[in-house]
Structure 1
Amino acid sequence: MTAELVRGQNHPLPGTRVEIRVTAGTPLVAGATLNDEQGRMRDAGWIAHPAAPQLPGVEVSRQAAAVHHLAVDPGALPQGVHRVNILLALPAVPGAPADFAGLAAPFLAVTGQDGEQIASYTVTGLSAESAVVALELYLRGDIWKVRAVGQGYADGLAAMLADQGLAEARALAGTINEAVAAGMARSVAPAPDRPTRHAAGGRTGTGQPAGAPSRPTAPSASSAPSAGAQPSAAGTGTGAGGGPIDYRHPRRATPTPQPAAGPTPAASVPPQSAAGPQSGGPQSGGPQGHGQGHGQDTSQPVAGDAPGWSMEERLYNQVWGMFEDLARSVAAYRSAVDFADSRMERELEGVLDDPRARIGPAADAARAEARAKHSALVEQARGVLERDMAQLEAESEVVEPALPPALARWDNPVWQAYEPPTERPMALRVGDLSLSERPELRIPMLVRLPLERGLWIDSGRLRGAEAGLADADELRRLAQLTATALAARIVAVHPANEMTVHVIDPAGSAATSLLPLVESGVLRDPPAAGASGVARTLERLTQRVDLVQMAVRSRATDALPPDLDLADQLLVVHDFPHGFDDRAVNQLRYLADEGPSVGVSLLVVADREEARGYGPVLDPLWRSLLRLTPVPDDHLADPWVGHAWTYEPPLAPSNSQVVPQVLRRVVAARHSS
């Protein structure tokens, strides 16, 4: 059970590696200081910060961001370290807030290696402060504990570091702020080509390149109807509407890059390395290449070449690294094009400033020169982008076939040899993501298991480029098929008898799409129909949530009814809100909010426009769900660089029998267990 700490409270830790997840309403700088028994820092080498994100046993982010994932491994800390302070500070850059007054309170969650949340703390009461010691991990006897601190400093990082005994506090604070400011610069000229991305030996750290924006964390449904941020245990999120969505990003090893001695022509770029693509300079935000020093890396891509405790975790991190690389490379290209455009505009304006020089051979030559410079810059940026895309495609061709079922597409041969797993996987593939610069390069969209957020498949009218390609009935049918494909995948990646599926289909409109679940026997009960069926199903699940929550809180799980299904539960709701009265709507909202904590997940097929009659009462429900679409649509936007990502649903190939085949094996495993 998660300990919700208040200031001054402490809670024991397992003594193994833990992750500290930080969520805020604005970009923050995150760091960690090492301290002795008296709470003093030995020197500037005892702090992990954006300019130096790794210490033995500590990893922090390289950039200011609204969501951070920090890691602390007590067993790997240097000798003499008895405390680790988690620091948060507002970036000292133009346009950033000067203090925490009026800002959302930062939220921190400490999780173990199994992903289970151990403790959480919301840093309340901040106002004129611009930096805060949020948490303290400390050694008491032989036990590591975490304490909620919340000590703020109005004079910022320098005062905080000085308070911990660092003599060069002001100079170090300046170094940190300079690194953050350099990384947050957007429209910049292309930097020297080909910096070093990884040290020899592969991905060993968890940072990200200096000069890049904070790593992408969360696609958001920017075109969805409702807006507003929704903090959750996992981080910042929105549901349907235009803020960041919590789409957790793991760590990608990227030591601080150094510029190469000179540009390298795109034609001479070697094959993609195991670590990923290469790109423009550290200021461009593009991905960096795997190599040693400034030399070229000639190794081939390798599946699983990322940090992790298991092959599954390494592949998971590698996929997320590919997502990061694609986002950063495209951001570098777009930034370079923006720079070229603005530079040409300035030069052309300079020609027009002097009325006497607006016409004539000299003016024509100046215009031609400005356009030629623009073309050269754009061509150079395009060459770097094409190189990066080719390298990422090479990595994708190696990684995709190596993915386990939970992360693989339905057309992956791994499903042909499918057998129900004995353990729950760490993540689930819910579709693919791509960008317009290279739409054929698709990156798996992964969400962690167990699902902390429900999924909403939008069966309503499309608003993007795909609008008009399908009528309302066809969209509803595709949404129903997508829901079945996702439900089948969720069942298939869980051990036999550890996932029970319930379906609500009030009008029976989804009967055809539900055939794979019904005919295979995965559904233990027929789909609930009519208002009475809706009421029975919701009553049963809400009662289960109440019972399990009370048992967990009172530490009396052995007192649960013997006939209670303790398997995880997945509720699939079609045609919401048809068949739902006010009570049923409130129960569904309750399941969306409280269900995930006790193993009840939600998958809703709905057209939000059809739910307008309920007014704003459903807004929290939409915000709590991750919006997906039944056809490719560019409705997802990461808050890192603001890319509009095209989402492609995880449908099986046409006329494929892979889904029914997999479900039959699931049922056979149930009967044999």
Structure 2
Amino acid sequence: MTAELVRGQNHALPHTRVGIRVSAGKPVVAAATLADEDGRVPSTEWVAHPGQAALPGIEVSRRATADQRLTVDLDAVPPAVHRLTVLLALPMGPGSPVRFGSVAAPYVAVTGPDGDEIASYTITGLDSESAVVALELYRRQGAWKVRAVGQGYAGGLTALLTDQGLDRAGELAAVIQETVAPGVARTVGTPPARTTEVRHNAAAAAGGTAGDTGPGPGHSTGPGPGPGSGPGAAADPQPPASTPPQPPAQTHDGSIDYTHPRRQQPAAPPSPPPAAPHAEPGRPPTPVAGDATGWSLEERLYNQVWGMFEDLARTTAAYRSAVDFAESRLDQELDRALSDPRSRIAGAGDTAREAARAKHDELTERAREVLDRDLAQLIAESEVVEPALPPAFARWDSPVWHGYRVPMEIPMALRLGDLHLPERPELRIPMLIRLPLERGLWVDSGRGASEAASLMDEAQLRRRAMDTAVGHAVRLLAVYPAGEFTVHVIDPAGSAAVSLAPLVGSGVLDGPPAAGAQGVSTVLAKLTQRVDLVQMAVRGGAADALPPDLDTAEQLLIVNDFPHGFDDRAVTQLRYLADEGPAVGVHLLMVADREDASAYGPVLDPLWRSLLRITPVPDDHLADPWVQHSWTYEPPEVPAGSDVLRLVLAQVAEARRTWRR
């Protein structure tokens, strides 16, 4: 399964012979530097670039193309090399873009010898930069890992190479640009075509209005997900199971490539989706649950939810683009009317202004009509899809939980909550993340995290944050087969006893919640040892040598009130679990206020970045991977008076007892 990385995240490489695939939508230059143990690049002889395409262990392309391929043999690099850094730069020349903010977000994937993807990274957040450090492959404890970097340079290739420690970086940058210049004029880079059918032509909303000068959709200031989560992950959306092509992104001219990060036709035809009922001429087709492609109904529903998320992002982007264009056109026409002396004669200026405003209103109304039409279709689809979702994808108030039974197989994804946009708040898209978890979760209990949180009492907010974490833990327990998921809890001061009552009372925990400094130390030492043992077994190909009493199930550690009860050693262990744990089945679910740990300074920044931040109250901190809309996240809520958690936990506990016999 592909590990979808976010900036700063790393992943172990199971092979030393790998390929690196880059898709950028426009021609880019690919290069690589080799660095020693201190991270120093001694000379230009340690740089693989189009003018010097092959070095021991690395070969790059001699041309600037939209789809780059690099080959790497880590066994062949000199022993002094401890880091291999992949660089991307925009070529200089007529018609070439001058900044990464005007092209599709570059997508970088590391592939194994068989072509299967090991890790991928979508480089989001670039604007004025014309060169970027994409990935680095580095040695750690005798093994190689890949880290997503995404560091951009507005100063271009010269600034990037200078930062790599190279003397005469400007000369080398000039050589590279001169080498690729002859081919740039002959290269036409276009985003790869969408490999599945476009579900709704929502972009038509801007078709008659955006013209040739209309601004593109607005940018969100919220963090991008990664592609590691489902819809909204934005945050780190978790895409479907097939191999991901180039992810979509907004371009400078307002056009958008909406290819889904993982919507690619499989090698063999999947089972056909159900046929939609025949629609009357001029009317949209009647929505059908599971009408996306996929091998099973679960996969079809998963892909359909992603499609709804994509459609909502696209149609909203088209509407916002059309409105922005209408506003821009109105301003321009008003400026012209005011600057023309003839407009002062016989009320000509008033007539021009009224005509400009009438045109603005007409364009805006036309865009709104298209938006309303598409949103109505999505609402109708949501009303059909929501009742058909399996427990892992369903809300807590879904009737599907009434017939819940512990599953025999792990589902492909899990619902973390809902997402919506301000244009139609009642249209909620399930936020799905892939399983097994590739990132830990952080339920932010800080009052400064959002406006809604700032209005709540601190104790009430912390209680709600812990209730949210317990709900996520119950759902994880519910969707895993018996014996394949274990939950540990650290509650140093015992302040979460009320929230933890459902887990403790049902007997599904590995042990009682750990309290005090000694309890924290014991749990962390146990999980750290498990990570070490599994890592050594995997690297040595000796899984059979694991101790017989080792719990091989996926592990979830719930941490409350961090950093209370944590000394420096415990903090180090927690960071280690966040960094290394997910790859070997150990995951964190933190309930914390970042301000409480501010005394540690930047030391804990990598910890927070490695976790997917969610909130116990609605907050618009997530962004989609295409146009970076600010999506409002709605945490899952158990209906008031509902006994669904107790009923589900009772089933899980009984299945665990039966499994142990």
TM above 0.5, yes or no, is: yes
> Following the alignment from structure 1 to structure 2, what is the Cα–Cα distance between the partners of residues 352 and 212?
23
> Following the alignment from structure 1 to structure 2, what is the Cα–Cα distance between the partners of residues 567 and 251?
22
Q: Is the 8 A contact 1:188 1:283 kept in 2?
A: no
Amino acid at match of 1:446: L
Question: Given the superposition, is the C-alpha separation of residues 30 and 452 from structure 1 closer, same or farther in structure 2, using an over 3 Å criterion?
Answer: farther
Match of 1:66 among 103, 106, 125: 106
Q: How far apart are residue 251 of structure 1 and its match?
A: 8.7
Q: How far apart are residue 48 of structure 1 and its match?
A: 12
The one-character-per-residue Cα deviations of 1:539-594 (angstroms, maximum 9, x if unpaired) are: 11101111111111112222211111111110000111111111111110000001
> Following the alignment from structure 1 to structure 2, what is the Cα–Cα distance between the partners of residues 445 and 635?
13
The one-character-per-residue Cα deviations of 1:416-463 (angstroms, maximum 9, x if unpaired) are: 111111111111111111000000101111111111111000001145
Show the counterpart of 1:580.
566
1:597 has 2:583 as partner = yes
Match of 2:292 among 294, 306, 328: 306
Show the counterpart of 1:382.
368
Instruction: Give the 3-state SS of the residue equivalent to 2:442 in structure 1.
Output: strand
1:247 has 2:237 as partner = yes
Amino acid at match of 1:248: Q
Q: How far apart are residue 382 of structure 1 and its match?
A: 0.5
> Following the alignment from structure 1 to structure 2, what is the Cα–Cα distance between the partners of residues 106 and 503?
35
The one-character-per-residue Cα deviations of 1:231-265 (angstroms, maximum 9, x if unpaired) are: xxx7689xxxxx97432334999xxxxxxxxxxxx
Q: Is the 8 A contact 1:421 1:494 kept in 2?
A: yes
> Following the alignment from structure 1 to structure 2, what is the Cα–Cα distance between the partners of residues 30 and 299?
45
Instruction: Give the 3-state SS of the residue equivalent to 2:430 in structure 1.
Output: strand
Amino acid at match of 1:66: P
Q: How far apart are residue 351 of structure 1 and its match?
A: 1.1
Q: How far apart are residue 510 of structure 1 and its match?
A: 0.8
Show the counterpart of 1:190.
206
Q: How far apart are residue 356 of structure 1 and its match?
A: 5.5
Q: Is the 8 A contact 1:213 1:641 kept in 2?
A: no
> Following the alignment from structure 1 to structure 2, what is the Cα–Cα distance between the partners of residues 602 and 503?
10
Match of 2:504 among 512, 515, 518: 518
Instruction: Give the 3-state SS of the residue equivalent to 1:564 in structure 2.
Output: coil
Amino acid at match of 1:377: L
> Following the alignment from structure 1 to structure 2, what is the Cα–Cα distance between the partners of residues 90 and 517?
39
> Following the alignment from structure 1 to structure 2, what is the Cα–Cα distance between the partners of residues 537 and 563?
16
> Following the alignment from structure 1 to structure 2, what is the Cα–Cα distance between the partners of residues 107 and 188?
41
1:473 has 2:467 as partner = no
Question: Given the superposition, is the C-alpha separation of residues 550 and 69 from structure 1 closer, same or farther in structure 2, using an over 3 Å criterion?
Answer: closer
Show the counterpart of 2:167.
none
Show the counterpart of 2:309.
323
Question: Given the superposition, is the C-alpha separation of residues 541 and 440 from structure 1 closer, same or farther in structure 2, using an over 3 Å criterion?
Answer: same
1:340 has 2:356 as partner = no
The one-character-per-residue Cα deviations of 1:268-316 (angstroms, maximum 9, x if unpaired) are: xxxxxxxxxxxxxx9588999x999xx8564311111112222211111
Of 460-469 and 326-335, deviating more is: 460-469
> Following the alignment from structure 2 to structure 1, what is the Cα–Cα distance between the partners of residues 361 and 552?
63
> Following the alignment from structure 1 to structure 2, what is the Cα–Cα distance between the partners of residues 379 and 48?
43
Question: Given the superposition, is the C-alpha separation of residues 155 and 645 from structure 1 closer, same or farther in structure 2, using an over 3 Å criterion?
Answer: farther
Show the counterpart of 1:486.
472
Instruction: Give the 3-state SS of the residue equivalent to 1:342 in structure 2.
Output: helix
Q: How far apart are residue 401 of structure 1 and its match?
A: 1.1
1:615 has 2:601 as partner = yes
Q: Is the 8 A contact 2:237 2:625 kept in 1?
A: no
Instruction: Give the 3-state SS of the residue equivalent to 2:526 in structure 1.
Output: helix
Match of 2:13 among 4, 27, 38: 4
Show the counterpart of 1:437.
423
Q: What percent identity do the matched residue pairs reach?
A: 56
Show the counterpart of 1:135.
none
> Following the alignment from structure 2 to structure 1, what is the Cα–Cα distance between the partners of residues 635 and 580?
27
Q: How far apart are residue 470 of structure 1 and its match?
A: 1.4
Question: Given the superposition, is the C-alpha separation of residues 547 and 327 from structure 1 closer, same or farther in structure 2, using an over 3 Å criterion?
Answer: same
Instruction: Give the 3-state SS of the residue equivalent to 1:176 in structure 2.
Output: coil
1:275-424 alignment, distance < 5 Å: 283=255, 296=282, 298-355=284-341, 357-358=343-344, 360-424=346-410
1:532-547 alignment, distance < 5 Å: 532-547=518-533
Question: Given the superposition, is the C-alpha separation of residues 438 and 505 from structure 1 closer, same or farther in structure 2, using an over 3 Å criterion?
Answer: same
> Following the alignment from structure 2 to structure 1, what is the Cα–Cα distance between the partners of residues 121 and 181?
12
Match of 2:190 among 167, 172, 176: 176
Q: Is the 8 A contact 2:135 2:146 kept in 1?
A: no
Question: Given the superposition, is the C-alpha separation of residues 618 and 22 from structure 1 closer, same or farther in structure 2, using an over 3 Å criterion?
Answer: farther
Count of aligned pairs between the two proteins: 520
Amino acid at match of 1:591: L
TM-score, length-normalised on structure 1? Answer: 0.66
> Following the alignment from structure 1 to structure 2, what is the Cα–Cα distance between the partners of residues 89 and 532?
41
1:570 has 2:588 as partner = no
CA RMSD of aligned residues (A): 5.0
> Following the alignment from structure 1 to structure 2, what is the Cα–Cα distance between the partners of residues 469 and 3?
43
Q: Is the 8 A contact 1:287 1:328 kept in 2?
A: no
Q: How far apart are residue 481 of structure 1 and its match?
A: 0.4
Question: Given the superposition, is the C-alpha separation of residues 550 and 283 from structure 1 closer, same or farther in structure 2, using an over 3 Å criterion?
Answer: closer
Question: Given the superposition, is the C-alpha separation of residues 251 and 438 from structure 1 closer, same or farther in structure 2, using an over 3 Å criterion?
Answer: farther
Question: Given the superposition, is the C-alpha separation of residues 663 and 517 from structure 1 closer, same or farther in structure 2, using an over 3 Å criterion?
Answer: same
Q: Is the 8 A contact 1:351 1:367 kept in 2?
A: yes
1:203-218 alignment, distance < 5 Å: none
Q: Is the 8 A contact 1:286 1:329 kept in 2?
A: no
1:231-246 alignment, distance < 5 Å: 245-246=235-236
> Following the alignment from structure 1 to structure 2, what is the Cα–Cα distance between the partners of residues 119 and 296?
54
Instruction: Give the 3-state SS of the residue equivalent to 2:587 in structure 1.
Output: strand
Q: Is the 8 A contact 2:239 2:434 kept in 1?
A: no
Show the counterpart of 1:277.
none
Q: Is the 8 A contact 2:520 2:570 kept in 1?
A: yes
Match of 1:641 among 627, 636, 648: 627
Unpaired segments of 5 or more residues in structure 2?
A: 2-10, 31-66, 70-102, 138-143, 159-174, 195-202, 244-253, 261-275
> Following the alignment from structure 1 to structure 2, what is the Cα–Cα distance between the partners of residues 396 and 490?
24
Question: Given the superposition, is the C-alpha separation of residues 479 and 541 from structure 1 closer, same or farther in structure 2, using an over 3 Å criterion?
Answer: same
Match of 2:134 among 97, 100, 105: 105
Show the counterpart of 1:265.
none
Question: Given the superposition, is the C-alpha separation of residues 547 and 601 from structure 1 closer, same or farther in structure 2, using an over 3 Å criterion?
Answer: same
